[in-house]
Amino acid sequence: MVLVTPAIRALSEAYHGSSVSVVTEAFAKDVFEANPMISDIITIDRWKQRGLSWPRKLAMDIGWLKKIRSGMYDIVVDLFCGPRSAQIALFSGAPVRVAEAVRGRSFFYTQTVKVDHVGKHIVEQKMQIVKALTGEVPIPPTEIFLHQEEKEKALRRLHQETGGSEGPFVGFFPGAGWGHKQWPHDRFGKLGDMLTSRGYKVVILGGPRDTEACQRMAENMMSGYVLISGISRLRETISLISQMALFISNDTGPMHISASLGRPTLGLFGPSDVSKYRPWGENAHVISVKIPCSPCPQMKNTCHLHGFIPGECMKRISVYEVYKKVVEILGENS
């Protein structure tokens, strides 16, 4: 969701004065809140549907579709082109419906675009769809907006958690949706100690699924850190990241959030495709050690098929290499 924000700006600027609505999964709504280019956020909560009887699921689907239909949209841009989004596009009744050319789905749209995926970042791929409407335009940055009171609340919490420290704060996100994406916790801890010795306050952040990874990093640090894990509200994570002098992360959503907030960001990559998923922005950096099988199939442990130990691509990233890059970034932004 973060990586489609350039498309939203490009469309808003091309159709100046238009009303822009975004249809999103409920869990990602926080990414779009406070965005001045968005008039309405329509959420589809598939998690709520789990465990419901099929009549109740159908009733919820009809409710969402009715709301979209009532918007009387002139243009629908489907940036995901899945079965559900294709149906939503058609049911909207919009006279112009644009999407990527996907076999078997052209019926749902009035115009499809052949997207070049090879070596292209996800932002670039989505912008190829948008340019069918905007023409050739510069690709905007990813962006997330916060209210001033959200920033102030996050800063107050950091001061409270650190006993009044003014920072500067360096954020760490040691978790990841897939274990093979995680840099070893002891290395995160050692890097944290090296930064506290330079006067930085280390803030370890994580959501409900990241509590173990955050705890293990903390256990590998001597002192000088703040642990804020189990954060349930994405908006709260976004606000805390906005206060960081630098954000260091595995390949995760929070890494993209940091880059979208304009924070200096360092992503640590192993099994992921850097060309597609690197943090997008001028102040975004990546460390990646290439081995012959990188990138590998997502969520599949294939290291043994190539004669490597599990997660070898991440384990080949040394603490010294990351520390050297961190010092360079902090020096550029001091």
CA distance 143 to 256: 9
Q: Could you tell me the pTM of the whole model?
A: 0.94
Please list the alpha-helical segments (H only) found in 135-252.
148-161, 185-196, 211-219, 234-241
Q: Which residues contact 129 (CB under 8 A, 6 or more apart)?
A: 7, 77, 78, 79, 98, 99, 100, 113, 115
Q: Which residues of the chain have pLDDT under 50?
A: none
Q: Kindly list the structural domains of the chain, giving each domain's residue range(s) and its CATH number in brackets, ordered by start.
A: 2-134 (3.40.50.2000), 151-332 (3.40.50.2000)
Q: What is the pLDDT at residue 45?
A: 87
The reported pLDDT for the residue numbered 134 is 97
pLDDT digits (tens, 9 = 90+) for 182-215: 999 999 999 999 999 999 999 999 999 999 999 9
- Return the pLDDT at 276: 96
Report whether 200 contacts 169 (CB < 8 A). yes
| End-to-end CA separation in angstroms for the chain | 30
DSSP E strand boundaries for the chain: 21-25, 40-44, 75-78, 96-100, 111-113, 169-173, 201-205, 225-228, 246-250, 265-269, 284-288
